[in-house]
């Protein structure tokens, strides 16, 4: 019975470090089927030339040799979890970015106007979230039977999640007839993530003898960090149909093929002098592990994107959607069954892989976008678009999962783009404002500093709270026609 009790306490504590921002969404990048302002971010033809398109078939409609540089000249992200670890103890991550977003180009052949080649290098800084919070006060934490009165209590929480993706792509588009075009794109992606979460909860025992210089300490502390890189490959096939003012496009994207990846996982758990309520048991636990050179698998599902654009005299309207299929639960990182829990009795190793793994699953998601462009004159136009960015996060309904999850922002976000384009014979210039907002009222606290007691294993009684994400940035894109 004692063994089962210690095991259950250990499991509750080690699963505290499960950080659950913009990292569980498919359309967070500006370059995608719904980023109408970003050059080439459409599935149906938008009457432009010389762009590297999401749908490679569009490059062949009116091919032109050009080079494009797109950048978020300045971007600010704010992720807030209200009362994240207790009343007034908000978790907040603020990041500022000045970075290139995309370098791309197209190549047209004078002797063959039915074929176009494209290339691109895209960088997407998915997330840079960092936060800390602390509680330091006298409050009732321990049982009065051995520690009467309010104890000196210190709780501390820290987390960060940094994710970036860099994609190199090559594409070919072929014009089959005056109305039909097809294309193919190969994308190689490098994804990196540094995920860390740490929690400590400590209280000094009140002793009858006030002269005791160093009173007993109750301590619960847990941390987990996973750092990995992953290289993968995706193939996209596209088709385009154009009939006068009507334009239709379709893109099929393959699942991600994992080529190579490596990870380092570090975890630590310490419990000192924790009294189990209604028993005479005093718990002391130690677990520590570091595993390197672990294999990594990162999955993207099969997706289907469709778009429709219609031209009026001075206006173009654009509609797009993309459906992502489900991804069953899988391990991003799978540790080995080395020593973790001390003392190492051998049987303890059966839990190591489950407790240290980084795991996720994804539900099916349909995102939609709408955009419009108004032509003030042939050289100047105004562009605006809205798109959904629904989360693919799935909750663990069984409550049996013991490992870590890699995401923080698990709610739906919504994007808006407002700007314009300025054309000359040798170049196009696009500029605009990028906005993102999303929120939820059901974000589960990782810990709660309001009521840490031994009955809650010093974690507090966690509850759902509000969380939100807001981002704003300036887009600048320059397309030079060669």
The residue length of the chain stands at: 482
- CB atoms near residue 463 (< 10 Å): 12
pLDDT at 22 over 50: no
Report if residue 384 sits inside a domain.
yes
Burial 378-406 (b: 16+ CB within 10 A, else e): eeebebbbbbbbbbbbbeeeeeebbbbbb
E strand or H helix at 479:
strand 464-481
pLDDT of residue 350: 62
Run of H or E including 377? strand 365-377
| Across 52-66, 225-239, 362-376, least confident range | 52-66
Q: Domain for residue 441, yes or no?
A: no
Give the list of residues 6+ apart from residue 145 with CB closer than 8 angstroms, or none.
none
Q: By C-alpha distance, which of 329, 451, 333, 470 is closest to 395? A: 329
Residue-wise pLDDT tens digits, 288-310: 889 999 999 999 999 999 999 99
Confidence (pLDDT) at 150: 93
Residue 355 falls inside a structural domain? yes
Per-residue tokens: 201 = 């909860």
Q: Is residue 100, in this structure, part of any structural domain at all? A: no
How crowded is residue 311: how many other Cβ atoms within 10 Å of its Cβ?
Answer: 17
**pLDDT over 90, % of the chain:** 58
Which among 32, 38, 57 is positioned nearest to 373, based on CA atoms?
38
111 or 56, which is more confident: 56
Query: Does any domain span residue 75?
Result: no
Residue range 375-385: mean pLDDT, rounded: 93
Q: What's the chain's Rg over C-alpha atoms?
A: 27
Distance CA 60, CA 401 (A): 49
On whether the CB atoms of residues 375 and 350 are closer than 8 A, the answer is: no
Which SS3 state, helix, strand or coil, does residue 59 take? helix
Each residue of 154-205: pLDDT tens digit? Answer: 999 999 999 999 999 999 999 999 999 999 999 999 999 999 999 999 999 9
**Contact status, residue 249 vs residue 42, Cβ threshold 8 Å:** yes
- Tell me whether strands 413-423 and 66-81 are parallel, antiparallel or unpaired: unpaired
Does the pTM surpass 0.85? The reply is yes
Q: In sequence order, what are the residues at sequence separation of 6 or more whose Cβ sits closer than 8 angstroms to the Cβ of residue 385?
A: 34, 35, 36, 37, 318, 369, 370, 371, 372, 415, 416, 417
pLDDT in tens, 424-460: 877 888 899 999 999 999 999 999 999 999 988 899 9
Count of domains forming the chain? 1
pLDDT surpassing 60 at residue 5:
no
Output phi, psi for 11, to 5 deg. -65, -40
Q: What are phi and psi of 59, to 5 degrees?
A: -65, -25
Tokens at 140, concatenated: 């009732």
Q: How does pLDDT run across 312-362, given as a tens digit for each residue?
A: 989 999 999 999 999 998 888 988 887 787 787 766 666 666 777 788 889
- Give a yes or no: residue 40 inside a domain: yes
**Using CA atoms, how far apart are residues 251 and 213, in angstroms rounded to an integer?**
71
Query: Is 101 part of a structural domain of the chain?
Result: no
Interatomic CA distance for residues 464 and 441, integer angstroms: 7
Q: In this model, does residue 209 exceed pLDDT 80? A: no
**For residue 318, which of 384, 371, 382, 375 has the smallest C-alpha distance?**
371
Higher pLDDT among residues 292 and 408, named by residue: 292
Residue at 58 is within a domain: yes
Give the CATH number, domain containing residue 294: 2.40.160
CA distance 472 to 73: 11
In terms of residue numbers, what domain contains 154?
A: 2-63+112-120+131-427
Mean pLDDT, to the nearest integer, of 209-231? Answer: 89
Tens digits of per-residue pLDDT, 73-114?
A: 778 999 999 999 999 999 999 988 776 667 888 998 888 888
User: Among candidates 254, 269, 184, which has minimal Cα distance to 219?
Assistant: 269
What one-character DSSP code corresponds to residue 398? S
Output the pLDDT for position 347. Answer: 63
Q: How far is CA 371 from CA 241, 335, 382, 421, in A?
A: 19, 45, 11, 14
Half-sphere exposure of residue 379: CA atoms within 13 angstroms, side-chain side: 5
Question: What are 100's two structure tokens?
Answer: 């290139």
């Amino acid at each position: 019975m004692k063994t089962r009790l210690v095991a259950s306490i250990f499991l509750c504590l080690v699963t505290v470090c499960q950080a659950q921002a913009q990292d569980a969404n498919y359309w967070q990048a500006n370059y995608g089927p719904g980023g109408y302002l970003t050059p080439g971010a459409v599935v149906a033809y938008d009457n432009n030339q010389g762009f590297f398109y999401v749908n490679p078939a569009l490059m062949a409609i009116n091919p032109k040799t050009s080079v494009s540089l797109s950048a978020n000249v300045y971007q600010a992200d704010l992720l807030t979890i209200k009362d994240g670890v207790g009343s007034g103890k908000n978790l907040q991550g603020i990041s500022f970015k000045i970075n290139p977003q995309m370098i791309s180009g197209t190549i047209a052949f004078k002797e063959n106007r039915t074929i176009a080649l494209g290339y691109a290098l895209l960088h997407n800084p998915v997330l840079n979230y960092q936060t800390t919070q602390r509680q330091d006060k006298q409050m009732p934490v321990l049982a009065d039977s051995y520690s009467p009165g309010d104890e000196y209590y210190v709780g501390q929480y820290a987390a960060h999640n940094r994710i970036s993706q860099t994609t190199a792509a090559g594409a070919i588009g072929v014009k089959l007839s005056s109305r039909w075009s097809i294309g193919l794109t190969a994308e190689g992606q490098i994804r990196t993530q540094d995920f860390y979460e740490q929690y400590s909860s400590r209280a000094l025992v009140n002793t009858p003898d006030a002269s005791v210089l160093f009173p007993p300490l109750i301590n619960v502390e847990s941390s987990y960090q996973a750092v990995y890189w992953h290289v993968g490959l995706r193939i996209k096939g596209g088709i385009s149909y154009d009939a006068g003012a009507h334009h239709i496009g379709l893109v099929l994207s393959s699942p991600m093929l994992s080529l190579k990846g490596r990870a380092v996982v570090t975890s630590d758990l310490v419990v000192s002098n924790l009294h189990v309520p209604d028993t005479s048991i005093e718990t002391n636990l130690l677990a520590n592990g570091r595993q390197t050179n672990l294999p990594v698998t990162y999955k993207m599902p099969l997706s289907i994107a469709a778009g429709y654009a219609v031209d009026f005299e001075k206006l173009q309207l654009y509609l797009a959607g993309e459906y992502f299929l489900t991804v069953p639960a899988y391990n991003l990182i799978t540790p080995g069954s080395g020593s973790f829990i001390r003392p190492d009795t051998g049987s303890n190793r059966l839990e190591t892989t489950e407790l240290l793994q980084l795991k996720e699953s994804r539900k099916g998601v349909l995102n939609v976008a709408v955009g419009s462009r108004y032509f003030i004159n042939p050289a100047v136009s105004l562009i605006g678009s809205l798109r959904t960015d629904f989360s693919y996060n799935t909750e663990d309904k069984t409550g049996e999962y013991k490992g870590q999850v890699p995401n923080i922002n698990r709610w739906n976000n919504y994007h808006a783009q407002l700007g314009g384009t300025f054309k000359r014979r040798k170049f196009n210039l696009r500029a605009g404002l990028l906005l993102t907002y999303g929120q939820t009222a059901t974000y589960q606290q990782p810990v709660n500093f309001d009521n840490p007691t031994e009955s809650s294993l010093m974690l507090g009684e966690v509850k759902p709270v509000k969380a939100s994400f807001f981002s704003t940035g300036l887009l600048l894109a320059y397309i030079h026609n060669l």
